Every structure is written in C-alpha cells, then in structure tokens.
Amino acid sequence: MDRRSLFLEHIAQTSSDPLYLRPVEARGTVIRDAEGREYLDMVAGISVTNMGHGHPAVIKAIREQTERYLHLMVYGEFDQAPQTEYAAALASVLPSSLSVVYFVTSGSEAVEGALKLAKRYTGRHEVVSFHKAYHGSTTGALSVMGGDDYSRAYRPLVPGVQRIPFNDPEALERITHKTACVLVEPVQGEAGVIPPAPGYLEALRKRCKETGTLLLYDEVQTGLGRTGELFAFMKYGVAPDILILAKALGGGLPLGAFITSPKIMNALSHHPPLGHITTFGGHPLSCAAGLAAFRELLASGIMKEVASKEKFIREKMQHPLIREVRSSGLLFAIDLPDRETAEKTVRRALEKGVISDWFLFREEAFRISPPLTITYEELEQGCNIFLETLDEIRKR
C-alpha cells in the first residue's frame, strides 16, 4: 500500500479532500517533502511557527530539556523551571492585572478553562460571544462558536450562551448583570480577519465594567507578534480581564494558557479545589520551546518589520479577481469572487510550491499568515505565485 493510501486509511480524516503533503524537513519558511520538493510556508501552521520552522534557539532548548526531564506530575504541583520561567517572562511584558498564568495543552482547553474561571469567579452562568467567532472544537468551545454549521451535529451544547454581532455598539446592551463574561477575538480570525472598528473595544470594555462582567480576549491567533504588537490588545489599548493564548505560544509544540490577576485566578483553587485540572498542560518540553521562541521574538526586533511587511503584501496583492484585502499585521484575508475560486487558488498555489489555507467563516477568502521571519524576497516569491495562479484561473 502506498503512503497516501496509508494516510487516508489510518489517519482520522477531518475532510473529504485534505491538502496532502508528505513533509520530511522544515527550516525557516521552507517545508521539504519526501520527493525533495520545497514549499514556501505562507500560513505558519495557522499562525503557530511565528519564528519559523526549526529555529536554532528553539531546537537547542528542546534538546537540553529532554536531557533534564519530561512529564513529572500533573499541572500545578511541582515548580518546574520551564513553566515558572515562562510564566514570569510573560507576566513581565503584560499589565500587572495579567500576572498569573495557567498553562494548558491547547487553545480549546485554554478557552474551556477561562470560561470555567469566569463563571466560578462571578457566580454567573451566562456568556456572550460573537457571530463568526472561532474558539475551538471541544463541546464548551463549540457552544461559544459564532456559527451553527460546525456545532449543530453536537447538540445539546452548553446553555446560557448568546451571540451578538461584532463591531455593533448597540448590541452591547445585551451584556447584563447576569453575564459572567464576554469572549471576543480582538481581531476576528476565521471570520476573515475583521479588526475592531474605532472605539468598539473601548465601548465593550465600558459595558463590561458597568455590568461587572469579565472581558475575555481570545488571542490564540493574534498573540505573540502576529499583528505587529506583542499582543493585539496592545495595538488597540484595551486590556482584558483574562487573556487566552495558544498556537505560537509553544514555539511549535502544543501549549495554551489563560492569564489573569491573582484575585481572579484564585477562584479555581478552592470551593472546590482543583477547579481546573490538566495532566499535560504546561509540558516542560512545550514550555522550554515556547520560552526560547518568546525570548527570540523579543530580542530579534522582528516585530518592528511586521508593519512594513504588511504594507508590502497589501501593495503586491492587486488583481482583478481580488475583491478586498484585509489585514492586521501578518494576518491576511484575500477576498475572491466565490468559494470555488478560493479553493482553486489554494490548491493550485500548493502545486506551484506555496502553502496557504482557507477560513471557516469566509469561504470566498484565502489566508496569508507566514512566519514573522519571512524575508521580502520570499514574500515577493509567494505573492507572485498567488498572482500567477489567479491569472490562470481568470483565463479558464
């Protein structure tokens, strides 16, 4: 049996037509397959490998940690250096109200933990989320997802959730004294990169304060430099009560976190204790890798180039088939006429050696979210292939 058949038969399939690639090596922005062909990575594993694949500092940290220890005990019982040092490093760059880190295994688990914490702290049960928002695929995360297509088959879901439109100030009145928390992406990702309208996050923050509601930011996609700031909320100047992170947090290994104040986080420690439990959350390898990537991100100055690279892509991606280009730093949605055109673009670009992807709630768009380390020459190469692909599609 050939490898593709083995993959299709023994790896659980998440769609009927996966983007099949058989990688054997990845360095920087390049992934090489078993036939020796190289692919330019223009999505970074969906905003995961912000510092590129196989960064020397990350690989070194992983190797050194494997010589010390791997899993030792469930989370929160031992003072494991990679966890403690990474938590302190994150706290050092965040507002003082975001100083306690609970490491978990993924973005979905981080969302679950943050929702549990909000309910436990406030004593309330209602949650407000947003249309076309994506927060993960566990049952709790599905319950706050901003669309029914991906959750309808798994009902009943967690009750007490209502969705409101993003960037609609009038809808904020639906946040009341019964609302435990509002869960929002400061820049909506799977909706097709929708930034907040001027003043919207300020209005949201004000309404939450009026009603005693906790404000939760899902920065799973936008965190760790993706928007040009360390975290997207810093770009807009409105801080959350709980910050949710994952993807790039682990430097290429699985890691998530929710971060808040000592007062709020303490609610998980009593009545009952062990308010959230995770066996592998904050795994020492993941924390070592994430800390190394985080330190390199801060030391390299690479975030200073995000705005100019964003401008480069915006200026380059001009084509009769492109309806709109939306971006926040190096997170892009390129709108095309329809879903069929977007699917053809992604698949044909892959054939030409460039990796991209789609959005869950913007079927006519494709995604550009390369490693932040990508060079201008590589950006030009990738954009040229996208434009060539669109030329071919237009002529057919």
pLDDT of residue 105: 97
pLDDT at residue 396 tops 80: no
274 shares its domain with 388 = no
pLDDT at residue 59 tops 80: yes
pLDDT tens profile 138-183: 999 999 998 888 888 889 999 999 999 999 999 999 999 999 999 9
137 shares its domain with 273 = yes
Residue (of 245, 233, 241) closest to 117 by Cα position: 241
pLDDT of residue 271: 85
CATH number (domain holding residue 184): 3.40.640.10
Domain count, the chain: 2
135 shares its domain with 64 = yes
pLDDT of residue 164: 97
Mean pLDDT of the chain: 96
Query: Under DSSP, is residue 374 helix (H, G, I), strand (E, B) or coil?
Result: coil
192 shares its domain with 314 = no
130 shares its domain with 27 = no
pLDDT (mean) for 100-121: 97
Last residue of a domain, one of 300, 321, 354: 300
329 shares its domain with 235 = no
pTM: 0.96
Q: Give the position of tokens 């492109």.
A: 322
Last residue of a domain, one of 280, 300, 320: 300
Burial 220-229 (b: 16+ CB within 10 A, else e): bbbbbbbbbb
34 shares its domain with 159 = no
85 shares its domain with 155 = yes
Last residue of a domain, one of 267, 285, 300: 300
Alpha carbons 240 and 224: distance in angstroms, whole number: 16
Task: Find out whether 183 and 218 touch, Cβ atoms under 8 Å.
Answer: yes
pLDDT of residue 274: 86
pLDDT (mean) for 84-110: 98
73 shares its domain with 152 = yes
pLDDT tens profile 341-387: 999 999 999 999 999 999 999 999 999 999 999 999 999 999 999 99
342 shares its domain with 363 = yes
pLDDT (mean) for 35-59: 97
**Residue 349 domain boundaries:** 3-54+302-395
253 shares its domain with 357 = no
Pairing assessment for the beta strands 161-164 and 30-33 based on DSSP bridges:
unpaired
Share of the chain above pLDDT 90, in %: 89
CATH number (domain holding residue 321): 3.90.1150.10
64 shares its domain with 20 = no
C-alpha distances out from residue 13 to 5, 21, 23, 24, 227, Å: 12, 14, 18, 20, 31
pLDDT tens profile 255-282: 999 999 999 999 999 888 888 999 999 9
Alpha carbons 321 and 134: distance in angstroms, whole number: 27
pLDDT of residue 321: 98
Q: Which residues contact 162 (CB under 8 A, 6 or more apart)?
A: 126, 127, 128, 129, 174
pLDDT (mean) for 11-22: 84
Helical segments of 155-283, H only: 200-211, 232-236, 262-265
Half-sphere exposure of 371 (CA within 13 A, CB side): 22
